[in-house]
Amino acid sequence: MAEVRLEHVTKRFDDDVVALDDLTLEVADGEFLILVGPSGCGKTTALRLVAGLEKATTGEITIGDRVVNDVTPRDRDIAMVFQNYALYPHMTVKKNLAFGLKERHTPKPEIERRVGEVSSILGLDELLRRRPAQLSGGQRQRVAMGRALVREPTAFLLDEPLSNLDAKLRVQMRAELKRIHQRLGITTIYVTHDQVEAMTLGDRIVVMSNGRVQQIGRPQDVYRRPANLFVAGFIGSPPMNLLRGRAGDGSVRAGELSFAAPPPTPAGDVAVGLRPEDLRPALDDMPSLEFEVEVVEPLGNEVVVHGAVAGAVVATGAEGEAEIPLSLDAARAPLTAIFAPDEEPVPGDRIRLGIAPERVHLFDLRTGEAIPT
Amino acid sequence: MSELPVIDVVTRPSETVAPETPAGRRSFLFSPWHLVLLPLAAVMVVPLVWMLVTSLQTLDETRHYPPSLVPSSLQFGNYTEVLQRAPFGRWFLNTVIVTVACVIGNLLFCSLAGYAFARIKFFGREVAFVLILATLMIPFQVIIIPTFLIVRSFHLIDTLGALILPNLAGAFGIFMLRQFFRTLPIELEEAARIDGASRLGILFKIVLPLSGPALATLAVITFMWTWNDFLWPLITIYSPDHMTLQLGLATFQGAHQTNTNLLMAANVMSMLPVLLLFFVAQRYFVRGIATTGIKG
């Protein structure tokens, strides 16, 4: 068991691409930390630096109380699960599990004991004699987990371990992962681009973009108080609605929406963030705006409604954003709201949506930073 | 989400075989290609048949003009005569020793070098690799004398060592294995590094076991080159005891008279291992030529 620290770590590749820019991060002993962000944000690079597969250009990486910058992966006492599992195709499951122990000259009875233990935790007993090609995706995933667990490492590194599983299996393995972590309490760094995995698994999550940390915090805190526009647009599904607005004279206006500005709000352009789940049919005293329903997606437990309101959206730079065409009408902004399952509007409906003022998120448009509300 | 293409590294050589014939158009049907292929096949086979026939003729018959393709009687005695008149067994053994040593040497050293070029970053890697590739374009005749001088400085002239040492590794093998190693998923090697394997451990425990087809191809091609090599043994070997088959066969051609029937009998015997190998490992020959486009 050990804590992992990265201090002012920068990674620049040969072609001068800066993958990580001055990353400082502390993973507590036994913590489950998630690195989440769009592809190319540097999260995998950070993980590979901790594993020792890449060398930091500058900065210091510590595992336990040892600076490991110049320590080989072999001697870092970490284990890693790869996105494509990287099981050795020519070895049986059992040999895959035992490989790391054999390479470390673990005595044979000890290898037998540990492989047996891990395979019973992960339910691999039946599969020990098979080869990776004879396993299903979920089974391969478990073997990859087992190969890491069997080493009893001080830290556990996972690189998008669930992204190759189908949706149902992913949910199962997610719970399984959490159970294993609760049981063994190994310091874990987990890389994902899936915010649901990030929210559900992590003790804390680190939202990254462009090689920089955007926010670190407990999942609920990051969700409730996104530190900047990027995090606001990235965490939450469907994502937060962000409308262009203006603050001044003690109030904020965005399209039709108008409410009292919280005290520290400086005058100027702001982004007004409205979580889809915070929007509801307006009560009298609520700030509200007229919403025209365009598409209705009933999900059983809730209804996701896409439509438009008067106003303009704010770009956050989140992945895939450029792919979505903005409303053709410049004066209209797309908006998503989540309704209770018993409300099922039809396209064309005009509904007045309201939001409690304390649920509104405000961001300074010049800096992108959140304005405390 | 689609299923992960799990590290299916071992491309099977049999996959390079001709595309399926559409149902209903099975063999036996005549294809216009046969008009081309049949004469070509005949051209290829005739020398072999002629060799076999000659090896069973009497000396007089072999000198008959026009040559007869049907022996009047089968002179199997030619074969025993060859074995008696020349140290054929000795030559055979020498050839086997040299060939086996060269095959093992190529597999080992080309793996090491190929892996270094494929995966290890070091100063001057690209330049060194290009230089090695460039040696493929230098004809052997150009480097005969320097090679001879080097081998002589090791006091290996007229020993089997002269045949083995310069052929323990080759640019072709390094190139071929490097190309193959680069197709293996790098994650396997990274996983092994984290699991604690050394560079050599990774090469021998992960990379080579997954490189069966490439290694087989290299082995087969090296075998054939070495077995059939004539020029280099001719230059470095004088004493009959150290001759290889190809060189020994040449001694059947005297300055004034050639016992063609005995020569051909010896030829047939020297060709058997290569023929046998070809039948067993045909797909690796095809693959070696098809994938690298050089030598064969």
User: What is the domain-level CATH number for residue B167?
Assistant: 1.10.3720.10
Beta pairing, strands A350-354 & A288-298: antiparallel
Q: Tell me what pLDDT residue B168 has.
A: 92
Q: Is position B5 within any domain? A: no
What strands lie across the sheet with A66-67, from one edge to the other? A18-27, A4-12, A58-63, A66-67
Residues of B at the A interface, defined by Cβ within 8 angstroms: 1, 3-10, 185, 187-188, 190-198, 201, 205-206, 209-210
pLDDT at A191 over 90: yes
Of B7, B192, B196, the CB nearest to A89: B7
Q: Tell me what pLDDT residue A1 has.
A: 64
Q: Tell me what pLDDT residue B77 has.
A: 81
Within 10 angstroms of residue B24's Cβ, the number of other Cβ atoms is: 6
Q: Is position B74 within any domain? A: no
Q: Is position B162 within any domain? A: yes
Report the mean per-residue pLDDT for chain A: 86
Q: A-chain residues within 8 Å CB-CB of B1?
A: 163-167
Q: B-chain residues within 8 Å CB-CB of A88?
A: 188, 191-192, 206
Domain that holds residue B172: 87-259+271-291
Q: If 0-12 CB within 10 Å is exposed, 13-18 middle and 19+ buried, where does residue B117 land?
A: buried
CB contact under 8 A, A164 and B1: yes
Q: Tell me what pLDDT residue B289 has.
A: 62
Q: What is residue A12's three-state secondary structure? A: strand
Chain centroid, CA B39 distance in Å: 26
What is the per-residue DSSP string for A156-210? EEEESTTTTS-HHHHHHHHHHHHHHHHHH--EEEEEES-HHHHHHH-SEEEEEET
Q: Tell me what pLDDT residue B288 has.
A: 63
CB contact under 8 A, A87 and B206: no
How many domains does the structure of chain B reveal?
1
DSSP secondary-structure letter at A313? B
pLDDT at A341 over 80: yes
Q: Tell me what pLDDT residue B4 has.
A: 41
Identify the bridge partners of residue A293 per DSSP, sorted by sequence position: A307
Q: Is position B107 within any domain? A: yes
Q: Is position B63 within any domain? A: no
Residue pair A211/A19 in contact by the 8 Å Cβ criterion: yes
Q: Is position B201 within any domain? A: yes
Q: What is the CA radius of gyration of chain B?
A: 24
Q: Is position B217 within any domain? A: yes
Residue pair A220/A198 in contact by the 8 Å Cβ criterion: no
Q: Tell me what pLDDT residue B110 has.
A: 95
Alpha-carbon span A138 to B93, nearest angstrom: 54
Q: Tell me what pLDDT residue A35 has.
A: 92
CB contact under 8 A, A74 and B197: yes
**Average pLDDT, integer, range A244-257:** 83
Beta-carbon contacts below 8 Å between A and B: 88
Looking at chain A, the whole-number percentage of residues with pLDDT higher than 70 is 96
Q: Is position B172 within any domain? A: yes
Q: Tell me what pLDDT residue B58 has.
A: 80
Closest chain A residue by Cα to residue B209:
A90
Alpha-carbon span A46 to A75, nearest angstrom: 18
**Average pLDDT, integer, range A184-191:** 90
pLDDT at A36 over 70: yes
Residue pair A207/A11 in contact by the 8 Å Cβ criterion: no
> Please, which residues have CB within 8 angstroms of residue B229's CB and are 6 or more apart in sequence?
B163, B167, B244, B246
Of A53, A104, A164, the CB nearest to B4: A164
| Closest residue by Cα to residue A361 from A254, A260, A226, A257 | A226
| Residue given tokens 């039709």 in the structure block | A256
Per-residue pLDDT of chain B (296 residues; tens, 9 = 90+): 344 444 444 444 444 444 444 544 555 677 888 888 899 998 988 888 888 888 888 877 777 777 777 777 787 888 888 888 778 888 889 999 999 999 999 999 999 999 999 999 889 999 999 999 999 889 888 999 999 999 999 999 889 999 999 999 989 999 999 999 998 889 899 999 998 888 999 999 999 999 888 898 899 889 988 998 889 999 999 888 888 888 888 877 765 567 788 888 888 888 888 888 888 877 777 766 665 544 43
Alpha-carbon span A253 to A264, nearest angstrom: 16
Alpha-carbon span B48 to B61, nearest angstrom: 18
Alpha-carbon span B289 to B295, nearest angstrom: 7
Residue B273 token pair: 């291992």
Helices B125-134, B88-119: axis angle to 10 degrees equals 150
pLDDT tier, A330 (very low <50, low <70, confident <90, very high otherwise): low
Please tell me the number of Cα atoms within 13 Å of A298 on its side-chain side.
8
Alpha-carbon span A156 to A80, nearest angstrom: 6
Alpha-carbon span B48 to B69, nearest angstrom: 12
Residue pair B248/B86 in contact by the 8 Å Cβ criterion: yes
Helices A137-149, A108-121: axis angle to 10 degrees equals 140
